[in-house]
Amino acid sequence: MNHDHMEHMQHMHEHGASFPFLSLLAGFFLLGAVYYGFRFFNTKYLTKVNGYLDRENEVWHGACMVGMVSCLAPTWFGIADLFWQIAFAVGTAWYLVRAFTYGRSLPYNKQWYDFAHAAMMFGMWWMFAAPVSGIVVTVVFTAYWTWFGSYYAMRLYNDFKKPHWLSFGQDIAHFVMAVVMALMMVFPATFMGHQHNMSAMPAHDMSEPICTSPASAPVPATSTDSAAPAQDTSAGHVHEHHGAPAAAK
């Protein structure tokens, strides 16, 4: 087996697992976005099943699903990070205002629902902005997403007692999102979609946002010395060596 073939096999081994893993997760959240789009446009059916209609929730939950797709597979949509930073900042403020004002008078709503959704929006904003980092941030967000996921795990358990695809759909979307977000906080580099969609990407800098589009990701400087192939002019022959190890992802 020659050296070039060994390098090719190593490259396939390194990237073979990362692409399907992130793409499968992104595909799940894309289905989640379609699901919330269905809920948004089929108001009569939703009202018939649930007994109420809350189109704000459909919009913001759909935004979270698309945001997760943009985070895990940023080249699918190519949406700029600034868009998500603004959108989720607005979403956070929206639910906080709702929690203290008209949300309290909605018969189907509870104030802590709005606080939980505000925290969800804030968590999404943090993934794209990451103004600061550190162990405290990791612990706080991991604890929140663990609690959030546990709540929806309990709801999923109850769904099997009285199954309906609408309730199961929203609960599984929340649960998977919570699990992925918690794991993102603990193992950020594993879920950095822009690292797996750009070549020669440097190792993850914890000061960077976990969710970053290719256009916003830093492009490493290339050295002219390392870019040029090595040459051996001994005995009048020129040999190019292509066996330089690939940069660590």
The 10 Å Cβ neighbour count of residue 200 is 11
Count: domains in the chain = 1
Overall pTM > 0.75:
no
Q: Is residue 56 part of a domain?
A: yes
pLDDT grade for 217, boundaries at 50, 70 and 90: low
Say if residues 26 and 68 touch (Cβ distance below 8 Å): yes
The predicted-structure confidence for 80-123, as pLDDT tens digits, reads as follows 999 999 999 999 999 999 999 999 999 999 999 999 999 999 99
Q: Is residue 204 part of a domain?
A: no
Residue 193 vs residue 67, higher pLDDT: 67
Domain that includes residue 71, residue range: 20-196
Range name among 54-58, 205-209, 227-231 with the lowest pLDDT average: 227-231
Tokens of 47: 């009202």
Q: Is the confidence at residue 222, as pLDDT, over 90? A: no
Q: Is residue 6 part of a domain?
A: no
Angstrom distance (rounded) from CA 19 to CA 29: 15
Q: Is residue 156 part of a domain?
A: yes
Q: Is the confidence at residue 213, as pLDDT, over 90? A: no
Residue 210 vs residue 4, higher pLDDT: 210
The predicted-structure confidence for 11-30, as pLDDT tens digits, reads as follows 443 444 445 888 899 999 99
Q: Is residue 213 part of a domain?
A: no
pLDDT grade for 75, boundaries at 50, 70 and 90: confident
The predicted-structure confidence for 130-150, as pLDDT tens digits, reads as follows 888 789 999 999 999 999 999
pLDDT > 90: what percent of the chain? Answer: 57
pLDDT grade for 210, boundaries at 50, 70 and 90: confident
Tokens of 122: 């804030």
Angstrom distance (rounded) from CA 59 to CA 49: 18
